Structure 1
Amino acid sequence: MTPTQRQTRTVERVAYVVAAVLAASGLLHLVVLVASGTTWEGPLSYRKAMTFGLSFGLTLASVAWATSFLRVRHRTLLLGAFTAVSVVEVALVTLQVWRRVPSHFNFETGFDTAVSYSLAAGGGVIIVTVLAFAVAAWRTTDLSPSMTLALRFGLVVLFAAMVVGAVMVADGVTLARGGQAQLAYTTAGSLKLVHAVTMHAVLVVPGLAWLLRHTPERRRTKAIQAAVGVYAVLIAGAVLAS
């Protein structure tokens, strides 16, 4: 194993460990939310720390696993950046939840402003890394047709999820800066379902391809094509519902 390969394996292991910690944080906040009897709604709810922990934990593990099939230039750097930003995003959101102030679109103090802009900057880093992985999926040609389709679809849809997140943040910041903070939370929240559905295609569809790896390739490809169609319908339904 070359030094570069050892580095990559180390970053992968770190990513999986961090993903487990983030998911555990999400589960812990679910317990806190239920035990406290507080609201599930609104920007101050423990639900936000729960969903960020679980979503980032699951997404980080999915990205680390899915990209292990690809030929990605600078994968160690990209996965390391994705891991670091995942920690920062969850940590800042969790911090603000425990401070009982909104994490996003909050410009009440200098510290809150720094948090809001840090979260937005972290989102930008995530978009760049996911785009790089999606491009690598389209350049990788030595995988089976079914896994190639699954990875390309999953990563492109994940990139779309990050773009939706960026739109949510941009709209919210514009409204909050214009003195309409409450409207910012309402407007951004309208796209949560689309964001959630698109984030996890990178696990569901490639995961199905992996589970069917002992199936004849022709049948597996048809199954993945059907899964892509079903997932596309789910995305369309989420868009309409939003």
Structure 2
Amino acid sequence: MTSYLPVADRRLHPPLLWFAGAMAVFALVCVGGLVLDDRTLVGAPIWSKPLKFAVSFIAYALSLAWMLSLLPPIARRAGRWAGSVVAVAGAVEMVLITLQVVRGTRSHFNQATPFDATVFRIMGLTVVVLWVATLVVAVLLLRARMPDRATAWAVRLSSFLALAGAAIGFLMVRPTPEQRAAENPPVVGAHGVGVPDGGPSMPVTGWATTGGDLRVAHFFGMHALQLLPLLLLLLTVLAPRFGRLADERIRLRLVVTAAGAYTAVFALLTWQALRGQPLLEPDGLTLATAGVIVLAAVAGSVLSLRSPARSLPAPPTADPAGSARMRA
């Protein structure tokens, strides 16, 4: 069984590690804010948004740092630059979110004052920069040659799925019909579809329960960056107990099947939200589509676990000298 993991002399990306460590400390600050600060904003405790972003950035930075360690030497310099850009852009994003929390106003979609509008424009720019830098990393990973194909494709597919998940954020900045009808609305853009932000919502996540919410697909897509590599790690750990998983081709098939199912679920969640449908109240069409995805995933997994066909040994070649001796 082979497994392609970073070797000891490959350092994880220092700026991303520092950024992840800073976000871990800041997450504790946010927890303190939740305890000591009883202010609410858009129907949620005011420190809940920076806490969610901090935790998400921890997972994002650590995943990218590991992926960058898999790059060959020829691509490592470009990868280091891209990773540093991600760390800086993420730090700027968090500073601006925290600034608005301290001021007691919303950070996203805020156009209430020229200052608020400027803050949101800068945040939008940092998101674009972060997305492009992550795209650079994904392209480098796509072109990198790795000894273990299952690991290679788990990393590549998860990075592009994460990019698709992050791109959902671009749908959120579109004005709603009510905002388009208003003159100089203080808020332009929304997480919810068909319902205003700040209405009835799920605990912890804050996702809308009376309408669509684009944050569901956004969250699901971005965290492919962790879940697909974790699936591969699980397959590798189970390989000694289930000999079939020791075959790299079978692990590769299972990773591709999982990535296909993940992509289908991501598309379904996006479609469901855009139709203004709450996550926990799917209609018949959504349930039927989900059923098709489950059946396809199960069938793909069963087919993936089939032992790869092995080529038959070539027939022995004739030995003229031996034949002559036998005749003699």
Both proteins in one fold, TM over 0.5? yes
Q: Which runs of 5+ in 2 are unaligned?
A: 1-9, 198-212, 240-245, 274-328
Aligned: 1:129 with 2:133:
yes
Q: How far 1:178 moved relative to its partner? A: 5.3
TM-score (normalised: structure 1): 0.82
Tell me the CA shift for residue 162 of structure 1: 2.3
Structure 1 residue 94: Cα displacement: 1.4
- The secondary structure found in structure 1 opposite 2:83 is helix
| Offset, 1:183 | 6.5
Instruction: Provide the C-alpha distance between the structure 2 equivalents of 1:164 and 1:34, rounded to a whole number of angstroms.
Output: 31
Whether the aligned pair in 1 keeps the contact of 2:141 and 2:156 (CA below 8 Å) is: yes
Partner of 1:65: 66
1:232 corresponds in structure 2 to 263
Deviation at 1:20, TM superposition (A): 2.4
CA contact (8 A) 1:40 1:47 kept: no
| Kept after mapping to 2: 8 A contact 1:158/1:202 | yes
Is residue 2:114 matched to residue 1:113? no
**Which whole-Å CA distance do the structure 1 matches of 2:157 and 2:66 have between them?**
15
Identity within the alignment, %: 27
Q: 1:240 to 1:37 in 2, by over 3 A?
A: farther
TM-score by length of 2: 0.62
Bigger shift: residues 21-30 or 57-66:
21-30
Deviations for 1:75-124, whole angstroms, at most 9, x for unmatched residues?
12111110011111111111211211111222333332221111011011
Q: CA RMSD in A?
A: 2.9
Deviation, structure 1 residue 224: 1.5
Q: Which of 225, 228, 232 lines up with 1:202 in the alignment?
A: 225
1:1-242 paired onto structure 2 within 5 Å = 9=11, 12-33=13-34, 36=37, 38-39=39-40, 41-42=42-43, 45-71=46-72, 72=75, 74-171=78-175, 175=179, 179-182=184-187, 184-187=189-192, 190-213=213-236, 215=239, 216=246, 217-242=248-273
Higher-helix-fraction structure: 1
Is the 8 Å Cα contact of residues 25 and 54 (structure 1) preserved in structure 2?
Answer: no
Q: Give 1:36 deviation, angstroms.
A: 4.3
Unaligned runs of 5+ in 1: 1-7
Q: Residues 29, 227 of structure 1: CA spacing in aligned structure 2 closer, same or farther, 3 A cutoff? A: same
Residues 49-98 of structure 1: per-residue CA shift (max 9 Å, x gap)? 11111112211111111222134351121111100111111111112112
Write the distance in 2 (CA, Å) between the matches of 1:67 and 1:229.
24
- Cα deviation, residue 23, structure 1: 3.3
Poorly superposed stretches of 4+, deviation over 6 Å? none
1:108 and 1:180, CA in 2 relative to 1: closer, same or farther beyond 3 A? closer
- Pair 1:37–1:143, CA change in 2 (3 A): farther
Distance 1:110 1:153, change over 3 A: same
Instruction: Name the SS for the 1:103 alignment partner.
Output: coil
Tell me, yes or no, if the aligned pair for 1:19 and 1:60 is still in contact at 8 Å.
yes
